[in-house]
Homo-oligomer: A and B are copies of this chain.
């Protein structure tokens, strides 16, 4: 979970996540939204992957990234722990 918090702490990475909200995009398509080099962006992809916030899949010559929303639930729960008062049953199964 620490890796998730670290991942979303960077504005560029949050922008990547937002871009992926509407659907999968290749590394190149994502790069069009940024000034920085593809190499730098690739680093950010790695951080997002390490946090399991995105998945990637090779499709021919390109690598397609997509959002992994399952982590979001954990993040939301974890965030609740920081602020919300305990409930009898925190909504988990």
Chain B residues near A37: list those with CB within 8 A: none
Interface check A6, CB cutoff 8 A: yes
Measured between alpha carbons, how far is A83 from B7 in the docked complex, in Å?
Answer: 14
Interface check A36, CB cutoff 8 A: no
Q: Mark A14-25, 1 if CB is under 8 A from B, else 0.
A: 100110010000
Interface residues contributed by chain A, number (CB under 8 Å): 21
Copies of this chain held together in the complex: 2
Residue pair A5, B2 in contact (C-beta under 8 Å): no
Taking CB atoms and an 8 Å cut-off, the chain A residues in 1-41 that contact chain B are 2, 5-6, 8-9, 11, 14, 17-18, 21
| Known contacts A75-B79, A83-B72, A9 near B6 by CB under 8 Å | yes
Chain A positions within 8 Å of B, measured between CB atoms, are 2, 5-6, 8-9, 11, 14, 17-18, 21, 67, 69, 72, 75-76, 79, 81-85
